[in-house]
Amino acid sequence: MSEVYEYVPHRLLRKRVRDIASGAEGELMAVINQNVSSSGVGEHWVELAYVRLSSGREITTAVDNIESA
Protein backbone atom coordinates (compact mmCIF):
# COMPACT_ATOMS: atom_id res chain seq x y z
CA MET A 1 0.00 0.00 0.00
CA SER A 2 1.27 3.49 -0.82
CA GLU A 3 0.94 6.59 1.35
CA VAL A 4 -2.35 6.91 3.23
CA TYR A 5 -2.90 10.59 2.36
CA GLU A 6 -1.67 13.52 0.28
CA TYR A 7 -2.48 17.23 0.37
CA VAL A 8 -4.39 18.64 -2.61
CA PRO A 9 -4.36 22.30 -3.71
CA HIS A 10 -7.78 23.97 -3.71
CA ARG A 11 -8.90 27.46 -4.78
CA LEU A 12 -10.85 27.99 -1.53
CA LEU A 13 -8.03 27.16 0.92
CA ARG A 14 -8.00 29.64 3.84
CA LYS A 15 -11.32 31.09 2.63
CA ARG A 16 -14.74 31.05 4.29
CA VAL A 17 -16.78 28.09 3.05
CA ARG A 18 -20.07 26.32 3.68
CA ASP A 19 -20.56 22.57 3.93
CA ILE A 20 -23.67 21.92 1.83
CA ALA A 21 -24.40 18.64 3.65
CA SER A 22 -24.53 20.08 7.19
CA GLY A 23 -24.92 23.82 6.59
CA ALA A 24 -21.87 24.48 8.77
CA GLU A 25 -19.63 27.43 7.86
CA GLY A 26 -15.98 27.97 8.56
CA GLU A 27 -12.49 28.27 7.07
CA LEU A 28 -11.22 25.63 4.67
CA MET A 29 -7.98 24.44 6.29
CA ALA A 30 -6.96 21.59 4.00
CA VAL A 31 -8.07 19.23 1.28
CA ILE A 32 -6.59 15.77 1.59
CA ASN A 33 -6.75 12.83 -0.78
CA GLN A 34 -6.97 9.98 1.73
CA ASN A 35 -6.69 6.24 1.29
CA VAL A 36 -9.64 4.81 3.24
CA SER A 37 -9.04 1.18 2.27
CA SER A 38 -9.62 -1.30 5.05
CA SER A 39 -7.93 -4.20 3.31
CA GLY A 40 -4.78 -4.79 1.31
CA VAL A 41 -6.77 -5.98 -1.72
CA GLY A 42 -7.20 -2.58 -3.36
CA GLU A 43 -6.91 1.09 -2.62
CA HIS A 44 -9.90 3.42 -2.28
CA TRP A 45 -9.08 7.14 -2.25
CA VAL A 46 -11.45 9.99 -1.32
CA GLU A 47 -10.93 13.76 -1.21
CA LEU A 48 -11.84 15.17 2.20
CA ALA A 49 -12.17 18.84 3.09
CA TYR A 50 -11.18 19.94 6.60
CA VAL A 51 -13.23 22.94 7.75
CA ARG A 52 -12.51 24.85 10.99
CA LEU A 53 -15.71 26.24 12.51
CA SER A 54 -15.81 29.49 14.53
CA SER A 55 -15.79 27.36 17.72
CA GLY A 56 -12.35 26.03 16.73
CA ARG A 57 -13.70 22.55 16.10
CA GLU A 58 -12.78 21.01 12.74
CA ILE A 59 -15.11 18.89 10.65
CA THR A 60 -14.52 16.85 7.54
CA THR A 61 -16.76 16.54 4.52
CA ALA A 62 -16.49 15.47 0.91
CA VAL A 63 -14.71 18.15 -1.08
CA ASP A 64 -17.68 18.25 -3.49
CA ASN A 65 -19.85 19.49 -0.58
CA ILE A 66 -17.81 22.70 -0.21
CA GLU A 67 -18.92 26.04 -1.59
CA SER A 68 -17.85 29.62 -0.99
CA ALA A 69 -19.76 31.23 1.88
Task: Give me the pLDDT at residue 1, please.
Answer: 46
> In the chain, what are the domain boundaries?
5-68
Contact 51, 58 (CB under 8 A): yes
CA atoms within 13 A on the CB side of 44: 6
Tell me the fold of 5-68.
SH3 type barrels. (2.30.30)
> In this structure, how many other beta carbons lie within 10 angstroms of the beta carbon of residue 61?
17
Spell out a b/e string for 28-54, using b for 16 or more CB atoms within 10 Å of the CB, else e. Answer: bebbbebeeeeeeeeeeeeebbbbeee
pLDDT tens, position by position, for the chain (69 residues)? 456 789 999 999 999 999 999 999 999 999 999 988 887 788 889 999 999 999 999 999 999 999 999
